[in-house]
Amino acid sequence: MLYLGSRDLKEGRNMEMNAEQGVRRLMKTADIVVLIPNDMVLDADPELSLDTAFEAVDKIIIRGIKSILESFSSLDASASP
């Protein structure tokens, strides 16, 4: 599983094209790609610094991934004979 922030709307067309090309390449190798728009992260709490906002997103995503893995573990345990 791969998650990444997508480009900021203000970064320009050239960066947008590079980002889209990079995402297409990543999608060929990752089972799951989750794109989180940078603007969405920053708009969630405008008082947070950029680093703090992304740290908060990282923590949320880590909790989500742990929940998914725990679900798979419980399914595997219930499937045992």
Average pLDDT of the residues in 52-81: 81
- pTM, rounded to two decimals: 0.57
pLDDT band (50, 70, 90) for residue 2: low
The parent domain of residue 63 ranges over 2-79
- 16, HSE (Cβ side, Cα atoms, 13 Å): 7
Tokens for 37, please give them: 């728009």
Q: How many domains does one find in the chain? A: 1
- Amino acid letter, residue 15: M
pLDDT tens for each residue of 27-64: 898 888 877 777 777 777 788 888 888 888 888 888 98
Instruction: Give the residue among 42, 46, 55, 58 at the shortest CA–CA distance from 8.
Output: 42
Residue 9: partners with Cβ closer than 8 Å, 6 or more residues away:
39
